[in-house]
Amino acid sequence: MAILVDENTKILVQGITGSFGGRHAQLSLDYGTQLVAGVTPGKGGQLFADQVPIFDTVSEAVEATGATVSAIFVPPPFAGDAILEAVDAGVDLVVAITEGIPVMDMMRVRAAMEGKKTRLIGPNCPGIVTPGLGKDSHGGCRIGIAPGYIHKRGKVGVVSRSGTLTYEAVWQLTNLGLGQSTCVGIGGDPINGTTHLDVLKMFNDDPETEAIIMIGEIGGSNEEKAAAWAKENCKKPMAAFIAGATAPPGRRMGHAGAIVSGGKGTAAAKIEALRDAGIEVAKNPSDMGQALVRAMG
């Protein structure tokens, strides 16, 4: 089953004619993803890669193609508006890849999404991959910017705030022969749509997922919340890694949300919460795959 998306999910890309959006839309097509529409205001009627129709608005694209997920590659000044447009068009899921959206914009967007059916993943995230059954996991659903070939279809759920660190974890799993049900990048911004805990609950309920790896980093308290929930509720073996144990306090480590401020959000506190919940914490980033092997017994 996987979570959120599978090989039949129809997706559209907002910002498909930009160089970044276009490049990754092509890679998703190559991966075998059901990319059915693109949206760029003013370019309606054109085709992307000679096959994907482009629309002026998201609601036109949804109406014509039945897309249920939108991937956002729109530049930061316009990304908040793009998310709201997708919500208004009634898609089930919005995956915002864009990095650098002002926090104030995300605050308003999240408030405006209260009570709507649409879920937001991101922003500032690598996206979602549900690997396919073909060679190098071809035929799956790839939304965003993750490299498809590192994946392998299987039973491990992966949730992370980071991009390349997730690839590192996925690659370790794949090399250990552990495939993934779905890999979700929730993004590195302080205000985002979906938390570790939200994804953890989905994995816990997903019959295909048999083990979970959660990758966090300094800043905020979402990892602690997920750990507290997992302690009482999670039925599946879990491993985790927290990046940033050596980060100096008060500095933003690349991600807008990766900051230890006022003594809060430290790696040490997160690791303690995870261990307290009985989660196997990787000793270092090279140990993520092995940590899950240990957790699975």
Partner 1 sequence: MNIHEYQAKELFQKFGVPTPNGRVADSAEEAKSAAAEIGSNIVVKAQVHAGGRGKGTFKNGFKGGVHVVQNADEAADIAAKMLGQVLVTHQTGEEGKLVSKVMVADAVEITKEYYLAILMDRESRSPVIVASTEGGVNIEDVAEHTPEKIFHQAIHPLLGLQPYEVRKLSAKLGFAGDQAKQFGKLLAALYRLFIECDCSMVEINPLVTTPDGQVLALDAKFDFDDNALYRHPDIAALHDPTEEDPREVEAAKYHLNYIGLDGNIACLVNGAGLAMATMDIIKHCGGEPANFLDVGGGATQEQVTNAFKIILGDPKVKAILVNIFGGIMDCDVIAKGIVAACKEVSLSIPLVVRLEGNNVEAGKRTLAESDVALISADTLADAADKAVKAIAA
Residues catalogued as catalytic:
255
- 129: tokens are 């991959």
| Angle value at C-alpha 261, between 258 and 265, nearest 5 degrees | 60
Element at 215 (helix H, strand E): strand 211-217
The edge-to-edge listing of strands for the beta sheet with 238-243 is 141-144, 127-130, 180-185, 153-160, 211-217, 238-243, 280-281
Element at 241 (helix H, strand E): strand 238-243
Other CB atoms within a 10 A radius of the CB of residue 41 amount to 15
Chain CA centroid to CA 189, Å:
12
Nearer to partner 1 (CB atom), residue 53 or residue 219? 219
Q: Which of 3, 91, 218, 292 binds partner 1 (CB under 8 A)?
A: 218
Question: Of 54-62, 99-107, 131-139, 202-210, which part binds partner 1 (CB under 8 A)?
Answer: 99-107
Q: Which of 11, 34, 241, 274 binds partner 1 (CB under 8 A)?
A: 241
Does position 254 interact with partner 1 (CB under 8 A)? The reply is yes
Q: Which of 221, 229, 231, 272 binds partner 1 (CB under 8 A)?
A: 221
Q: Which of 26, 41, 60, 110 binds partner 1 (CB under 8 A)?
A: 110
Q: In the complex, what is the shortest distance from the CB of residue 235 to partner 1, in angstroms, rounded to a whole number?
A: 27
Does position 66 interact with partner 1 (CB under 8 A)? The reply is no
Does position 77 interact with partner 1 (CB under 8 A)? The reply is yes
Q: CA-to-CA distance for 227 and 230, rounded, in angstroms? A: 5
For residue 68, the 8-state DSSP code is -
Q: Which of 6, 18, 20, 90 binds partner 1 (CB under 8 A)?
A: 20
First to last CA, the chain: 24
User: β-strand 47-48 against 52-55: which pairing, if any?
Assistant: antiparallel
For residue 149, the 8-state DSSP code is G
Q: Which of 247, 273, 279, 295 binds partner 1 (CB under 8 A)?
A: 247
Does position 78 interact with partner 1 (CB under 8 A)? The reply is no
For residue 248, the 8-state DSSP code is P
Nearer to partner 1 (CB atom), residue 61 or residue 274? 274
Please give the residue ranges that form the binding site for partner 1 (CB under 8 A): 20, 23-24, 27, 76-77, 100-105, 107-108, 110-112, 126, 145-147, 150, 160-168, 171, 188, 190-191, 215, 217-221, 241, 243-248, 251-258, 262-263, 267, 283-287
